Structure 1
Amino acid sequence: MTGAALGDVLYGFTGAVLGVSDIYPGVVALAGLITAGLTVVGVQYRDVPGGEWFAATMGLSNVWIAGALVTVLSSNRTALVLAEIVMTGCSLVVPVAWTAFVITYVGLDWMSQSWRLAALFVPPLVGIAAIAATPLTKLYFADVAVVHRPDGISVVSTPPGILAWLVLAYVFVLLVVGLVLIARLILLRGLFSRQASWLLIGTMPPFVTVMLEPAGVVGEEHLPLAPIGFALMGLAYGYGLFYHRLFDLSPGTWRLGTGVAFEGLSEGLVIVDTHGDVLGCNRSACERFGWERSTVFGRNIAEFDAQLSGAIGRSEPTEFRMDGQWYEVNSSPITDARDREVGHVLVIRDVTERHERRQQLEVLNRALRHNLRNDMMVVSSRAQALEDRYDDPMARTIVDTATDIVEMADKARAVEESLRETEGETQDVDVGPFLGRLIENVCGGDQDAPVAIDVEPGLSVRTDESLLMIVVANLVENAIEHGIRDGMDADRAPVRISADRVLDGVAIEVADDGPGIPQSELDVIERGTETPTSHGRGIGLWLVTWGATRLNADVTFDTDDGTTARLVVPDR
């Protein structure tokens, strides 16, 4: 079947179903109303990426439709020819405006500059100039003739010239590029895939109907099918606008924001492929290492920074020193849709202040934990000797105070040793025997220790046992120290430890009947900082909090009736 015969079949089918000559003006008018409404919407969203070009595309489409309406409502030769010229010009400009809309909508930043978008219109404008010069040249229209159809409607026949084919080929390429950009959004399978799907669905009807005549499927003597395509496009675009937030959630804003974040981060970012060749770097990386982008792009990173090269692919952060500064590098793999590794992102942070702070803390910790502890032990032994010789209560006070300082120093050592490593070794912990060992350690093997344990048989949790021991031991020590007092209920132990299975692990509770932890101390822990006027009495609660964080556990305190500390430890 020839293209013209297929066109006759299409029009025969359309005429049989719709009665084209009768319904066509109504279809064109409906398409005009829809595109006019979408033009208004585009103007309202003109500040959103793609909004202005969407309005321009819909507005020009409306002009195109107006020309089609003239072809069915007028038989004046001049009016018909002018309408044909308008429709042909719009058929060249609308696809370019639509492509500009897609480019800005998806956030193709390098093409979104005004002069580049304007350059896209040069070939269509050349075509429009050739159309205007048709009486003098046949570059675009080989001929212009009015054809009278049997149903009384007159149409203009304009066989294309060589320039028409060239410009149409250019427009076709732009349409394909725009469709590819939309399809890429769909393949992302994320927030914008539904929006892109309706853009693609809406674009296909006018794209197909416009190409029917150049492809020879529809003859020039037939009425233009483009308005019908625009009507379907408007319905699809409208659905995308109102049901999938076409402009409320703009991929252009997301893409542009990603670019701004990439450039604006204080951390250095370097993108390399699987061979280590540099594909991109942000401003911070260039300034930090004295690079020029034009000189590093495409070169292997090992050529100008062996330490960064050595960090590629490592699962743990890498630290190195350069020019008196300390840097930490994290390497993250880049994978494609098939989960194949195609490169790496290197994130470079200046951690000089962290190193200096760590060094200062190590020195202070050594002075407080070692020097001060040893001196306090000397003070304690001398004060004990004085008490034994003279039975002086002031000597007893000195001994108690020195003992408290030594115990605090021991806790500081436990904090340093327990929290030094990034990740402790996990193992299955049988909670019952674990708590038995803990009480023996805390109470020094005292069989009459004022502690009761209630544990579900066979209860276990997979976690870091040594760190869990420190956390729970501090809770128990605090309960024993502050929860035992005269006049207490003799029928129950002053300190009670219970453990039960919960949804995501094990809950351990340590309860006492003491006065309760002061709210001021809990406020300090919740706030996360201490001040000279707002601080705790020691480091026990801090150790519990830090340890719980490392265990990914939650710790809460109920002080309404005594103190109940609840530690929920997840399986790891």
Structure 2
Amino acid sequence: MIPTAIGTGIIAASFGASFGSLYLLQYLYHQRDRSGAAWFMGNIAAVAVFCAAYPIGLLVFTPSLRIALGAVSFIALSFMGPFFLAFGLDYTGRGDFIRSPLFSPVAGVPLLTVVLTATNPIHQLVWTNFQIDPAFRLATATYTVQPWGVFALLFSIGTAAVGSLLLIGAIVSYGPLYRREAIAVILSTAPPTVGVSVWLLEIGPVPQLHLTAPLMLVHVALDGYAFVGTHMFRTNPATQRMAEQTGLDSLPNPVVILDMEQQIVRINDRAAALFPNAVPDALPVSVESVLGVDIATLRDAGDLQIESDEGGTFAISETVLTDPGGSPVGRMIALYDVTEDRQREQQLAVLNRVLRHNLRNETTLISGYTDLLKNTLEDPDQEAQAKTIEDASDRLRSISEKGKTFKQIQQRDAQPTTTTASAILADVTQDCTEAHSDATIESTVTPSTLEFQTDTMLLSVVFTNLIENALVHSDDPTPTVTVRASKTASDGGEVVFEIRDDNDRIPAMEIDALRVGDETPLQHGQGIGLWIVYWCLQKLRGEIDFEYNDGNVLRVTVPDMAA
């Protein structure tokens, strides 16, 4: 039987809605990791099944097959509303409710409908008196919908309505940011709601005709506009909601919220004062239009220079925002005013550079004139005084050089390489004996091939300072320092270096200052050599212990960074 023109139009519109739904499903598949996308895909899949099963059923006059296709259509309708509610919850940042026991009845109704519809011939709780009643030469059918069938359909309409209310709440709460998209999706629920209601109440001249399927064409068109035309999932209310739950407006620092497309969708009051041109009504806007740099440059720089009345230098902290299911929905960038810190660092850098430069120049000048003075003096007391001046000048020059070493250490991160204890000690021994030709440095390594990973530059600085300190403070004109290296038997292993001298005990105030980690007017070191050792060992995750046994025993322990 060939359908009439009206019947053909109904069939064409229904299939059009089904094909449109399949296209939308294909698009949404690429957005499936976004909040709410998977649930909305479920809703659209139900639409696609309904809009395919119903027109096929209209072309089938075999009763058993017509009933089967009608059952598929009925089941698809019962799933649309719950899926839409789940979408509304997840999309607006309330996905935790879906995973709670409270959502079980929502999921249970359509699942139970599947079972009852499949077994309806036994109990007839869904419909009765099913018979084909043609209209427009289509295999339309009449039947009496029973209590569970009525409930399942009303439940689907009701849950869809709640989902729409959630989207309306997003519009009210977050202004124009989601207005066009949310309005389109809310309106898209009207055609199926009207179609199901008209059919259920048997309104109109052809009550046996289910107009929901052709009306779905409008539903799919509106959804297509929302999700394809305006890219609804690129920015969603879940970002805003998660930002609110972080206490955004109560944070003392300027904060901007980015969506998954790296657009600024919200700022707090402190950020609004810092960026007076970024008016909330104009959001979303690109990061670069507000901060002056793109997000990649901002991450690389680590801080931001802002030119405004409230501006200055700001350090950046970036935090990923996730919905209750753990899916990322955006990022929160907090700005911390470090203007005074950066100015202080700059001042210290200049002061350090000037002091080291002047110390080096002035001590060189003092040493030169002291040499000239010593050559002209004949009085032993005066020669001793000149020697005292020369020694003081040498110590100042050493402090200047150690200041340079300190700067290098502070700017360096540990860079582990594989080396041997013998190689490190050989290099240090050579450097120290060149500077102190009368000294003897003995080293023993057990086993002789002891190999480990460490930052050789930092560890060499440690031993150079400790050995040089022992040589400088020795009263023996030909001082001796011994070094022993071994590896512990513990898991991963630690390398232990033991440095011995014959000197007087290292002053307690030197050691106590290191243990406290600071210097005070009553407790301070007389040089910075041990401090440089301390800072190097911090970067190496090592430690140093001090003992005295007929001489100082310094035990340096460093981890094997390969472990």
What is the TM-score normalised by the length of structure 1? 0.49
What is the TM-score normalised by the length of structure 2? 0.50
